[in-house]
Amino acid sequence: MLVHKPITGSTNADVGALGRDGAPHGTAVWADEQTDGRGRLGRTWESPPTGNVYLSVLLRPALPLERAPLLCLAAAVVAAEVAGPHYRIKWPNDVQAPDGRKVAGILAELEVERGALRYVVVGIGLNVNAAPDLPSATSLLDVDGVHRDREELVMALIRGLLTITSELERAPDAVLTRWRRASSTLGKHVRIGSVEGEAIDIDPTGALVVSTPHGVERVFAGDVEMVRRHDA
Ligand code: BTN
């Protein structure tokens, strides 16, 4: 089922409610505008009716709970590939234009029951025709001047999410490889909270592996800042 709404609070909230009611894998809602768009780490996602995509998809993957965070990374791989060949991913799942500005964000919300993953709502906000007025943000239109059909983008995102979810179930390493290939974070000197060092890899759960002067640390959530090396 795919529902299009001119306006809603949050498509993630809509799909979460459908998930609680037992809606099937692949159920999706997209909107022209959200009045209560949610971002990562408790932030707001500005969602004006300016020709962008606000999409949420219900996934019921056969994955152990510890591998569920991989869905966030997998969704970023899909969004970056749909955006175009030169788009990159900042860990865990910000999609960046070739100049490093953010063009899409992903919020994956997990529903867990008795220690097992029941379903995941993957929400994608893609700046198609307009970006928020921030130096760090851009839109597909700003990047190449091409007007895109939002419905085609929505269909490509849903198809991509369903395909990559089954790939994650069968061959998660292949998905990790696709993420590494699209990453703008690996090989960089980064700071995430109190952890600072070189981002050297992601582990099989999707955590960022950082080599610091105190040893190798794994980071499970947070915002990556690119920093200049003190000795550079
Ligand atoms: C981020 O902070 O980068 C993630 C933003 C995710 C926004 C999308 S828009 C569609 C879906 N509905 C929401 O309320 N949030 C997500």
Residues 173-204 have pLDDT tens digits of 999 999 999 999 999 999 999 999 999 999 99
Averaged over 209-226, what is the pLDDT?
95
Which amino acid type is present at position 188? K
The pLDDT confidence band at residue 124, using thresholds 50, 70 and 90, is very high
Query: Residue 148 and residue 228: Cα distance in Å, rounded?
Result: 37
Give the angle 221-206-122 at the CA atoms, nearest 5°. 75
Instruction: For ligand 1, say whether the CB of 189 is within 6 Å of any of its atoms.
Output: no
CA 10 to chain centre: 16
What are 188's two structure tokens?
Answer: 């960089």
The pLDDT confidence band at residue 158, using thresholds 50, 70 and 90, is very high
Tell the residue nearest (CA) to atom 15 of ligand 1: 38
Instruction: For ligand 1, say whether the CB of 181 is within 6 Å of any of its atoms.
Output: no
Instruction: For ligand 1, say whether the CB of 37 is within 6 Å of any of its atoms.
Output: yes
- 203: CB partners within 8 A, 6+ apart: 209, 218
Let me know: does 168 contact 78? Beta carbons within 8 Å.
no
Share of the chain above pLDDT 90, in %: 94
Tell the residue nearest (CA) to atom 9 of ligand 1: 125
Averaged over 48-53, what is the pLDDT?
97
172 alpha carbon to ligand 1 midpoint, in Å? 24
Q: What is the pLDDT of residue 232?
A: 46
Instruction: For ligand 1, say whether the CB of 52 is within 6 Å of any of its atoms.
Output: no
Low-confidence winner among 6-10, 178-182, 216-220, 224-228 (lowest mean pLDDT): 224-228
* DSSP calls for 203-220: -TTSPEEEEETTEEEEE-
Instruction: For ligand 1, say whether the CB of 106 is within 6 Å of any of its atoms.
Output: yes
Per-residue pLDDT reduced to its tens digit, 7-35: 999 999 999 999 999 999 999 999 999 99
Instruction: For ligand 1, say whether the CB of 9 is within 6 Å of any of its atoms.
Output: no
The best mutation among 101, 124, 134, 224 to test binding of ligand 1, ranked by most ligand atoms within 8 Å of the C-beta, falls on: 124
Per-residue pLDDT reduced to its tens digit, 71-96: 999 999 999 999 999 999 999 999 99
Averaged over 113-124, what is the pLDDT?
95
CA 135 to chain centre: 20
What are 218's two structure tokens?
Answer: 């794994």
* DSSP calls for the chain: -EEEEEEES-HHHHHHHHHHTT--TT-EEEEEEESS-B-GGG-B----SSS-EEEEEEE-----GGGTTHHHHHHHHHHHHHH-TT-EEETTTEEE-TTS-EEEEEEEEEEEETTEEEEEEEEEEE-SS---S-TTB--HHHHH-----HHHHHHHHHHHHHHHHHHHHH-HHHHHHHHHHHBSSTTSEEEETTEEEEEEEE-TTSPEEEEETTEEEEE-S---EE---TT-
